[in-house]
Amino acid sequence: MDYSHSPARTLGGGGEEEEVGIECGKWVELPEDVMASILKRVGAIGILANVERVCKTWRNICKEPSMWRSIDMRNLGDIWDMDYDMVKICRHAVDRSSGALLRINIEYFGTDDLLLYIADRSTQLKSLRLVFCQNISDEGLIAAASKIPLLEELDLSYCSFSKAALEKVGHCCPLLRSFKLNTTGYRYPCIECDDEALAVAESMPGLRHLQMFGNKLTNDGLQAILDACLYLESLDLRRCFNVIVEGQMGRRCSERIKDLRQPNDSTDDYPFDSRFPHILWSDEEDYPCRFSDIDFMSDDDNYEFSFGSNFTEAYDEEDGWLF
C-alpha cells in the first residue's frame, strides 16, 4: 500500500513538542465520521498527547466537541513516571467538549480542584467514574455533585468518603440508576459497618444497579437497601463476608433481584485485583467464627504452619515478616 510520509509532533518529557515521522497518507482519505469513530477508541490521553499531532486533518477532527462527549483517562496508576501532566490533559479534554461531556473516567489522579473544574463545565454529565482517587475529599465530592443533577451512573471504587457525603451525593443526584462502591474484600478481621449501605438506602431509592464488592455491610444494611431501593435489578455482594444470604434473606433476594452476586461467587470477571491481602492476626478471639484458619489465606496460596497459632511469631527483628 502506498503511504505518504507526513511529519508529526508529540509531547516530549518537558512538555515541548518534538518532530516525529508518521505514515498517514491513506488514513486521511477516510470519511471524517469513520475516522472520528476510530480515533475515539484511542482514548483522551493518546489523542491529546500524540494522535492529533499527526496531521492537520486529524487535528481538526479531534477539535470537534462531539469527540469529547466521553472522556476516558484510564491509566496504570504510574502517573509519576509519565511524560505529561494528567490533570492538564484532562482539563484540556473537558474544554474541548464545550459543555457536551456526558461520561468521564478518572483514575488515580483526581483532586477536588479537578473534579470541580469538570462539574462547572459539564452540567449535562450522566456518568462519573472516580477510581483510586484518594485525594478527593467529602467536601469536593459534595460540591461537584451539586452541579451535576442529571447524573445517572456513579462509580466511587477504592475511594474514601463518609456516610454523610454519600447521602449528600444521593440527594443532589436524584436520577442515579447505577452506583459502584467497591473496595478490598477482607475475610478477617471481622469488622462490621453499615454506614455506606444506610447511605445508599436513605438517599438513592431509584437505583437499578448496585455493586458493593468487599463492603463491610451486614444483613441489617442489606435489609435497609432492599426496603428502600424497590427498583433494584442487580446487586453485587461479592467478598461482602458479613452478609449471609440464606433463609428468609436468601428468599427475598432471589425474588427481588434478577442478577444477584453472592459473597463467595467467582471474581473472574472483576476488573481489579481481588486477591486477599495477607494480614497477620494474633488474637484467636477475633477470628470470624464461620471461617477456618486456612480461609484467611489467599485462594492461590498454600501454607503449612509450623510455628503454632500465634501469628506474631512470624516476625523477625532483622528480616521483618517472614512471609
- Dist CA 188 CA 277 (whole Å): 10
Question: Strands, E, within 212-305: which ranges?
Answer: 234-236, 259-261
Of the pLDDT bands very low, low, confident and very high (cuts 50, 70, 90), residue 305 is very low
Which set of grid coordinates corresponds to residue 125? Answer: 454529565
Q: What pLDDT shows up at residue 189?
A: 64
Residue in this structure with the C-alpha cell 506474631, named with its chain if needed: 312
| pLDDT at 105 exceeding the cut of 80 | yes
Q: What pLDDT shows up at residue 280?
A: 46
Q: What pLDDT shows up at residue 273?
A: 84
Q: Given phi > 0 = left and psi -120 to 50 = alpha, else beta, which region is 209?
A: beta
Chain mean pLDDT for the chain: 82
Q: What pLDDT shows up at residue 251?
A: 95
- Dist CA 88 CA 51 (whole Å): 17
| pLDDT at 219 exceeding the cut of 70 | yes
| pLDDT at 252 exceeding the cut of 80 | yes
- Dist CA 301 CA 288 (whole Å): 20
Among the listed ranges 119-133, 179-193, 198-212, 265-279, which one has the minimum average pLDDT value?
265-279
- Dist CA 24 CA 74 (whole Å): 26
- Dist CA 144 CA 244 (whole Å): 36
Of the pLDDT bands very low, low, confident and very high (cuts 50, 70, 90), residue 27 is low
- Dist CA 143 CA 209 (whole Å): 24
- Paired residues of 93 in beta bridges: none
The architecture of the domain spanning 68-261 is Alpha-Beta Horseshoe (3.80)
Of the ranges 25-34, 54-63, 175-184, 279-288, which is most confident? Answer: 175-184
| pLDDT at 2 exceeding the cut of 50 | no
CB atoms within 10 A of CB 67: 21
- Dist CA 89 CA 98 (whole Å): 15
